[in-house]
Homo-oligomer: A and B are copies of this chain.
């Protein structure tokens, strides 16, 4: 499979914008905004506005961005010519009179994005259209404690199968992986439940194999980006994604940007402390949030309280049993959601994002669990006047959010929305 180079104005690698940013990262701490970077920035922002708001006409975009209509035309026209965007049919204007607006949106036939979700033991690959549609899903399994070469073979085979279904060369490949990831250097640091991945420079391997831009990030951050592009975080400037399950993690969208700490760290919330000298955690410390709000805790408590089938307890089942009248389930659900709430409370006190999207096990508990968590958070947080905290779930879709997020990572990294 051989891929052509990409259009030069936005999604390619060698635009002045990316060179500018690279120079900034390399050299000093100061980066001036150059003329050519400006164009790339504004192009990126127009695209972002399209993602955030859905199909919009040039005039709408101009109003949204507070710029002249002609500016939007200038930005948008080359993209239409390159078939990245398409002009829709004139929609009946909601205002009376006037020339009807022609909405613009992403071309469904534009190049897609490769996306990979890497969890202990399983690989999922797919293609994501710019419109968010998921196609050509391929799944495979690998031995978490096996041989590195075997893993790479499975990975390339899976990805090749998926990418071969693309009509044109994808813009790039995004990988969402469990564990601790160094997204700056594109390597997997450690995955507790899959030692075979430890230290794997996956970005370099895939880049070499497929000759495409490759981006990797950790699972919660992919969920965040998935929420932001195509989920409840759409259009929001500040929110957090929180994942609960066997482990806990989170990621933040701050001031319109994905927060990515030094070397792509941050958001390792599972091991923040909510109980000094509390229960022993997998990490060797005591009283981590993970010791009271993850599935192992829930299983242990379910067993202690004599609930049926404690080994396979989930939030979803807890909600079901509580709805069916089990007092024990109701009580445990309350304690579970309260424990989850503590981590969100600490986030709220720290960053005050006001908006949280839940994934993983508690998301399986649906609206009921979300509302319980919201109530606990409200009780436990020092509220400011006029402040409203929103807790949403986005748990459906078998990893589709993470896959869309992985795709979104590629898009974000190539749009260079950062100034």
Contact = CB atoms under 8 A, between A and B. Distances in A.
A65 B338 CA distance: 49
Given A7-B54, A11-B397, A390-B14, A27 B64 contact: yes
A245 interface: no
Interface stretch (A45-53, A166-174, A309-317, A323-331): A45-53
A42 B38 contact: no
A201 interface: no
A244 interface: no
A88 interface: yes
A388 B17 contact: yes
Contacts of A12: 227, 231-232, 357, 392-396
Contacts of A63: 27-28
A235 B14 CA distance: 14
Nearest to A284: B382
Contacts of A273: 274, 342, 345-346, 380
A54 B3 contact: yes
Interface stretch (A111-119, A144-152, A153-161, A256-264): A256-264
A82 interface: no
Given A231-B11, A273-B274, A30 B285 contact: no
Contact of A268 (B41, B87, B271, B352): B352
B20 A390 contact: yes
B350 A269 contact: yes
A405 interface: no
A263 to B, nearest CB: 7
Nearest to A283: B382
A266 interface: yes
A18 interface: yes
A350 B266 contact: yes
A246 interface: no
Given A20-B354, A385-B189, A71 B276 contact: no
A195 interface: no
A33 B38 contact: yes
A107 to B, nearest CB: 9
A7 B235 CA distance: 13
Contacts of A385: 189
A65 B30 contact: yes
Nearest to A54: B7
A33 B32 contact: no
Given A15-B367, A52-B30, A66-B20, A274 B274 contact: yes
A349 B29 contact: no
Residue in A3, A53, A88, A231 whose Cβ sees the most chain B Cβ within 10 Å? A3
B235 A24 contact: yes
A303 interface: no
Residue in A23, A30, A381, A382 whose Cβ sees the most chain B Cβ within 10 Å? A30
A374 B401 CA distance: 38
A18 to B, nearest CB: 4
Interface in A240-295: 250, 254-257, 259, 261-263, 265-269, 271-276, 278, 283, 285, 292
A374 B27 contact: no
15 contacts: A1-B88, A2-B89, A3-B55, A15-B391, A17-B374, A20-B390, A21-B232, A27-B66, A33-B419, A250-B350, A262-B354, A263-B387, A268-B352, A271-B349, A272-B346
Which 7 pairs across A and B sit closest by C-beta, in order of nearness? A261-B352, A12-B394, A28-B64, A3-B55, A266-B352, A265-B352, A272-B346
Given A11-B401, A33-B419, A38-B38, 13 more contacts: A1-B89, A3-B91, A3-B105, A7-B230, A12-B394, A13-B393, A14-B390, A15-B390, A18-B388, A32-B65, A33-B42, A266-B350, A419-B419
